[in-house]
Chain A
Amino acid sequence: AQSVTQPDIHITVSEGASLELRCNYSYGATPYLFWYVQSPGQGLQLLLKYFSGDTLVQGIKGFEAEFKRSQSSFNLRKPSVHWSDAAEYFCAVGGDDMRFGAGTRLTVKP
């Protein structure tokens, strides 16, 4: 069965610093991979997705993620974090039977 691991429960970065959130997955076939963001009290919003093709995908709000099949990873990156990026981030794998990671909470220091 597919599964997702987000090793970091909570990350704190300074505003303007770079960010990398880790995601490892287990999936039997070609994975469909997603990153979602959740602001407090809100539903989830898609940041980016990978189905096939170029392994570096660009998303909204300046985020990007790189699919590495050999490492079963799909890490999320941003070169310069803004205070408004503080939120919880979820990696997910699959189609109809989607599996989400436990999430990484991002705190941004001024």
Chain B
Amino acid sequence: NAGVTQTPKFQVLKTGQSMTLQCAQDMNHNSMYWYRQDPGMGLRLIYYSASEGTTDKGEVPNGYNVSRLNKREFSLRLESAAPSQTSVYFCASSDVLAGVGADTQYFGPGTRLTVL
């Protein structure tokens, strides 16, 4: 079991360039998430997908798009990167408990993105 995998691990972009961050999980989880982590701000939710075919905005969705390609994969796209999007990006997945909602989230190792 690889758990949650993310590619790439590191990326440097110039302002205005686009890129897609890939995430895959092999735990058969329904829910998947994208977060960004900035110093002193903890993790902030960008988008999440509660099931295949659905996506919802989180706390900081502006400048990002997502695709839930299938149950395993959830990608994050930056169409026109800006220096304010320099951050560490984490993907996570979770199972769902009946009557409770999302349970423990399992995190990938992160992607460190720098936008110049």
Contact = CB atoms under 8 A, between A and B. Distances in A.
Interface of A: 4, 6, 9, 32, 34, 41-46, 49, 51, 90, 92, 95-103
A99 B58 CA distance: 10
Contacts of B110: 41-43
Contacts of A45: 107
Classify the secondary structure of B's interface with A.
Answer: strand
Interface stretch (B37-45, B65-73, B74-82): B37-45
B101 interface: yes
Interface of B: 4, 31, 33, 35, 40-45, 48, 50, 56, 58-59, 90, 92, 94, 97, 100-110
8 contacts: A4-B42, A42-B110, A43-B90, A43-B108, A43-B110, A44-B43, A96-B31, A102-B41
Contacts of B92: 43-44
Given A9-B40, A43-B90, A103-B42, A98 B105 contact: yes
Nearest to A103: B42
Given A90-B42, A95-B102, A43 B107 contact: yes
